[in-house]
Amino acid sequence: MAISDPAAFVRSETRLQAPPHVPEIRLHLADEAMDLWSRTEEELGELGLPPPFWAFAWAGGQALARYVLDHPEIVAGKRVLDFASGSGIVGIAAMQAGAAFCEATDIDRFSLTAIVLNAQANGVAVTASARNVLDSGAEGFDVVLAGDVFYEKPMADRVEPFLRGAEAGGATVLFGDPGRAYLPKSGIEKIAEYRVPVTRAIEDNEIKHTKVWRFCAS
């Protein structure tokens, strides 16, 4: 299969299914991680690629999508940025909840394809973008959503100031996290918590105690 058809690759390596915590949404998801990771590297002819985050419904994304669907007033009629989108689950939830527009950003080229396919499968329009908003900022967005973005220190060191900057610029900023190592230790407050079912292919437990957070005064 050639890289000229990334949509065919995504479809062949996944099944269209509903994440357990957000049954309103259907996504192209994989049943395992390592084989898909290897096949992705073979497909692109590259080694050392990041894991195929786009092929799984991570706990933070599921929790944040659940919260958005249950609180549509957060996004209704607004311009939403789904940062480091992965599968697009959060952006899809935002559009289902009545957002006027959603841009879902990710650096993984297969993620961008998966976002488009997943949005189509749910009958919503999400703009998939490789734009580096960590450099350009979140100007023009009313709401910034981020699921599971504090799992590595180099990324966390860039993401936290970006998200705080978005809030300082007037955006509502929410992030979902199941207790990753580099979640900020202060200046955040919990607004919801869930027990989110996940696959053992990507996590250490089948249920992740996951919270939705926002920034607050330290």
- In this prediction, residue 34 carries a pLDDT of 45
- What ranges do the domains of the chain cover? 6-215
Write out pLDDT tens, residues 136-146: 999 999 999 99
For residue 32, give Cα distances in angstroms to 40, 53, 131, 211, 216: 13, 11, 29, 25, 37
The yes-or-no verdict on residue 39 having pLDDT over 80 is: no
Work out the average pLDDT over 49-55. 72
The tokens 């990771």 sit on which residue?
Answer: 37
Residue closest to 86 by CA, chosen among 34, 36, 149: 149
Predicted TM-score (pTM) of this structure: 0.91
Say which amino acid occupies 172. T
Work out the average pLDDT over 102-115. 94
CATH class of 6-215: alpha beta
The bridge status of strand 101-105 relative to strand 79-83 is parallel
The bridge status of strand 143-147 relative to strand 27-29 is unpaired
Work out the average pLDDT over 147-156. 95
The yes-or-no verdict on residue 45 having pLDDT over 80 is: no
